[in-house]
Amino acid sequence: MTYDVVIVGASFAGLTLAHHLPKDLRVLLVDIKPEPGSTVESTGLITTKTYLEFKSFLDIDHYITNPISAICVVAPSFDDYFVSSVAEPWIYQTDTKALVKAMAETVPANVEIRMKTAFLGLVEGDTTKIRIRSNSSAEEVIETKVLIGADGSHSKVAAEIPELSQNDRFLFGYEQVFFGSVNLDERPAETIYHFWFGEFSLGYGGWLSPTIIDGRPAFRVGLAKLEKDRAQAKELTQEFVELLLNKKIISIEGAVEKPGYIFGSLIPINGVRKHLTYKNTLLIGDAAGFCGAFAADGIKGAVVSGKESAKLVEQFLAGDRQALSLLPQAMNQHGGLIKYYAKQMKYRWIWDRMKSNRTFTAMYSIIKAERATFLNQFCDSKDKHQSLAWTVLKFKYLPKLIKYSCFIMLDFFKRS
Ligand SMILES: Cc1cc2nc3c(=O)[nH]c(=O)nc-3n(C[C@H](O)[C@H](O)[C@H](O)COP(=O)(O)OP(=O)(O)OC[C@H]3O[C@@H](n4cnc5c(N)ncnc54)[C@H](O)[C@@H]3O)c2cc1C
């Protein structure tokens, strides 16, 4: 059996690509999960730009549970917080499972989706012959002109082809979803909450995102740690939820031990990978490292790389053997997306140097003073790829910056 394109991974990247490939190609999309969207390892927050990218091929409004126009940052000690807002929504909370399911249900007729099917590897290193296995059936060999690895941060496609680069640095994100309400500040449904408890969750911090599930108020609560500390993620999330309950920041309907949905997964934080293509193969989405190393936002990179790679695959099949190597340039046309990932690596470097609550508190106090314009600048940094550094690097903050730098230096001697 010969296909023009085989895509491994039916999530944001693989499904976007499937929607955009020419309709006369024979396309096979395989995924190990039981159903599209049966589990989606993502909070599912998308920026305005990503919203518009989706809108061009899907009725995305149907899968938005609440538009968000404010951010609430909570200090490490939990005794202080500030809210910064903008006039229009800056991100949107999506119903992730329904969104991915809809993406799969609306693929064009030339795309065959096989779920419960794992990509196993190549036949003797030949990138045109791949081995797959569907549940309870024997291993099969499939021939393809193009092979796409859209199989996430721990890509098996990248692992099986030594000429392709693999991700090698990760955060481990862990999230629980509860029915209930968020009680901090006035407009929870329009707010995303970020918790800066440095020592509690080194690497990223915690989040709380109000949403609606089956017409009932709910929220997503999670934290991310550096991969080496992943064993603590579940326990710390439970501690975090208890803390939020005790402080009456959240109230849960039902038992706290029984969240509606739990997941954990790896988030690549090593920047865009060097070798994304080899012969007829290409990595896209998380597999390619298209994820903000600081903000851990990968849905935009998945959708944009899905769209852009569709054009390049068409050129490749028309005889341009170099076409697949043009993906980073094509992505950079989207407001400098590749430059955004490079900048995110710098923010990651600084964040990783911060190891104590007092350092996070020192930075928090500068950002809090900027709260009137903070979110505006933060939105720009995400969608227009401007620098976040100018939010804090101001002459009036010199004493605070000196204090912050001293704490960073002291953190150097602190074991994480
Ligand atoms: C806790 C958490 C919260 C996050 N929140 C956000 C957020 O709010 N906003 C945002 O922009 N980003 C967020 N991210 C990142 C975002 O979810 C990812 O960047 C995005 O899902 C990447 O999409 P993808 O299609 O490249 O890969 P994935 O969504 O990881 O999909 C990969 C697919 O490949 C399949 N697969 C893997 N191996 C095989 C195999 N061998 N054979 C067959 N199929 C295989 C998997 O089953 C999966 O369906 C979050 C990540 C985590 C972990």
Q: Are 306 and 286 in contact (CB under 8 A)?
A: no
Q: pLDDT (tens digit, 9 = 90+) per residue, 64-87?
A: 999 999 999 999 888 899 999 998
Rounded Cα distance between 403 and 323, Å, is 50
17 within ligand 1 shell (Cβ under 6 A):
no
Domain annotation for the chain: domains and CATH numbers = 2-32+116-168+270-342 (3.50.50.60), 65-91+169-268 (3.30.9.10), 350-411 (no CATH)
Tell me the pLDDT band of 383, cut-offs 50, 70 and 90: low
Rounded Cα distance between 60 and 357, Å, is 39
Q: pLDDT (tens digit, 9 = 90+) per residue, 162-194?
A: 999 999 999 999 999 999 999 998 899 999 999
What 8-state DSSP symbol labels residue 289? T
Inter-axis angle of helices 337-353 and 299-317, nearest 10:
140
- Choice between 13 and 397, residue whose per-residue pLDDT is larger: 13
Output the residue whose Cα is nearest ligand 1's atom 14: 42
Q: Given this model, what pLDDT does residue 381 score?
A: 55
Tell me the pLDDT band of 380, cut-offs 50, 70 and 90: low
- Longest Cα–Cα distance in the chain: 68
292 within ligand 1 shell (Cβ under 6 A):
no
Q: pLDDT (tens digit, 9 = 90+) per residue, 243-263?
A: 999 999 999 998 777 778 899
| Confidence check: pLDDT of 212 > 80 | yes
| Confidence check: pLDDT of 321 > 90 | yes
Residue with tokens 């995102």: 209
Residue 115 token pair = 């779920």
Of 201, 262, 286, best ligand 1 pocket probe by most atoms within 8 Å of the beta carbon? 286
% of residues, the chain, pLDDT over 70: 96
104 within ligand 1 shell (Cβ under 6 A):
no
Q: Given this model, what pLDDT does residue 384 score?
A: 62
302 within ligand 1 shell (Cβ under 6 A):
yes
Output the residue whose Cα is nearest ligand 1's atom 44: 31
Task: Give the distance (Å) from ligand 1 centre to CA of residue 401.
Answer: 37
| Confidence check: pLDDT of 375 > 90 | no
3-state secondary structure of 201: coil
Of 6, 28, 43, 71, best ligand 1 pocket probe by most atoms within 8 Å of the beta carbon? 43
Average pLDDT on 155-168 reads 98
Task: Give the distance (Å) from ligand 1 centre to CA of residue 176.
Answer: 16
Inter-axis angle of helices 12-20 and 96-105, nearest 10:
30
Cβ-based neighbour number of residue 386 at 10 Å: 18
What percentage of the chain's residues is helix, strand, coil (to nearest 5)?
40, 30, 35
Identify the weakest region by mean pLDDT among 76-85, 95-104, 382-391. Answer: 382-391
Average pLDDT on 347-352 reads 90
Identify the weakest region by mean pLDDT among 18-27, 227-236, 386-395. Answer: 386-395
Residue 24 token pair = 């006369």
Q: Given this model, what pLDDT does residue 283 score?
A: 98
Rounded Cα distance between 243 and 247, Å, is 6
Residue 361 token pair = 């508190």
151 within ligand 1 shell (Cβ under 6 A):
yes
Q: Given this model, what pLDDT does residue 326 score?
A: 98
Task: Give the distance (Å) from ligand 1 centre to CA of residue 80.
Answer: 33
